[in-house]
Amino acid sequence: MSLFKISRLSLPILMGLLAAPLHAQLPERFQNYPLATPGETGEFVAPMFNGWIRNEDRSITMIFGFANRNRTAVIDVPLGPNNKIEPAQFQGAQPTHFPVYKRRGFVGIQERGAFAVTVPPDMADIDVVWTLTSGGNTWSIPGNAGSAAYEMSAAEMASGSLKPAIRFDMDGPESVDPVGIYAERKFVSVGEPLTLSAHIQDRGVRDQYSGNDRLYYPLGTYWVMHQGPAAPEIEIGEMRGRDRADEYTGDPNSNEWTEVSNQLTFPEPGEYIIRLRVDNFEAPDSQFDNVCCWSNAYFPVTVNP
């Protein structure tokens, strides 16, 4: 089966992937369809296109996520024929590790904005197609800038929220979007703890909007294996902004940079990429459901025996 014509089928497919089934059990002939009750294991992972942004230089940023239909099974699909992006120049940005998510509401099982690619202006009208094969199914999802319904904005939200900033070094490059930046490669041995760190900042411009109780919010963080042969032990997987509030100065009008760090231990040798997502979901106009507001950063790690 294929979802290549996603522009016409996106809504029913999305509902099938994310909504709870209407009946506890369907006839056997319907069991392989998206509305069937998902199993604990043996289900597929579906690639998702979350939307596109036209940048100031007329390039196009295409944002992708995924939905793991398994209720408990984490799926790994290595880069290659079963996990590929075309055109090939964009291959390698996608995840190979697909955790199970059990969020409430419409977001449900989907992980939005796991990665993004930027298409240059002279290729702005092409399809960037992500194909995944798992659970006996092959799904292909095209990202393109052909539908206004999928167009997103990089500008401030209703009350001035913007995607947070991430830097590995205060004098280095900065990420302010899902495309993210990559740190210098780290080297570590199996079983040896590795500390990864970054600097983060709320970039909101809320002073330009009335009714805001504060100008800046503590940021949340989420650390996850993006690519790799075996999931590492991560000391702190996810921390909400409200739980990180004590790390800030307490001044709601200060947007000082804050350093965040995490300790990871890898069980197998190989090449890994760890993704750090930084969000400001504590702000009233920022919400994961609306694909706002967070940024990505990636840590390549080589693990030796």
Query: How many domains does the chain contain in total?
Result: 2
For the record, the structure tokens of 277 come out as 């997502």
pLDDT of residue 239: 93
Q: Confidence class of residue 103 from pLDDT cuts 50, 70 and 90?
A: confident
More confident residue, 208 or 29: 208
For the CA atoms of 81, 82, 87, 93, the dihedral, rounded to the nearest 10 degrees, stands at -120
Q: Are 60 and 145 in contact (CB under 8 A)?
A: yes
Upper half-sphere CA count for residue 101 (Cβ side, 13 Å): 22
Residue 31 CB-half CA count within 13 A: 7
Q: Is 22 exposed, middle or buried (0-12, 13-18, 19+ CB in 10 A)?
A: exposed
In whole angstroms, give the CA distance from residue 279 to residue 13: 27
- More confident of the two residues 251 and 63: 63
Question: What is the mean pLDDT of the segment spanning 183-211?
Answer: 95
pLDDT at 224 (0 to 100) = 98
Answer yes or no: are the C-beta atoms of 262 and 235 closer than 8 Å.
Answer: yes
- Are residues 138 and 190 located together in one domain of the fold? no
Average pLDDT of the segment spanning 59-80: 96
Show the domain range for 16: 6-150
* pLDDT tens digit sequence for 265-301: 999 999 999 999 999 999 999 988 877 899 999 999 9
pLDDT at residue 131, rounded to an integer: 98
CATH of the domain at 297: 2.60.40.10
- Report the pLDDT value the prediction gives residue 244, as an integer from 0 to 100: 78
217 shares a domain with 244? yes
**For position 54, what pLDDT does the model report?**
95
Q: List 133's β-bridge partners, or say none.
A: 138
Instruction: Give the pLDDT confidence of 128-154 residue by residue, as tens digits.
Output: 999 999 999 999 999 999 888 899 988
Q: What is the pTM of this model?
A: 0.86
| Residue-level pLDDT at 212 | 85
Residue ending a domain, choose from 115, 150, 185:
150
Distances (CA, A) of 8 to 49, 130, 147: 13, 17, 10
Domain assignment of residue 157, yes or no? no
DSSP-based three-state secondary structure for 89: helix
Residue 15 has pLDDT above 50, yes or no: no
Report the distance separating Cα 229 and Cα 174, nearest Å.
28
**Domain shared by 242 and 289, yes or no:** yes
State the DSSP string of 122-135.
Answer: GGTTS-EEEEEEET
The whole-angstrom separation of Cα 231 and Cα 144 is 32
Tell me the C-alpha distance between 108 and 104, whole Å: 5
Give the CA count within 13 Å in the CB-facing half-sphere of 179: 16
- Is residue 293, in this structure, part of any structural domain at all? yes
Mean pLDDT of the chain: 87
**pLDDT at site 249:** 63
How far is it, in rounded angstroms, from Cα 233 to Cα 263?
8
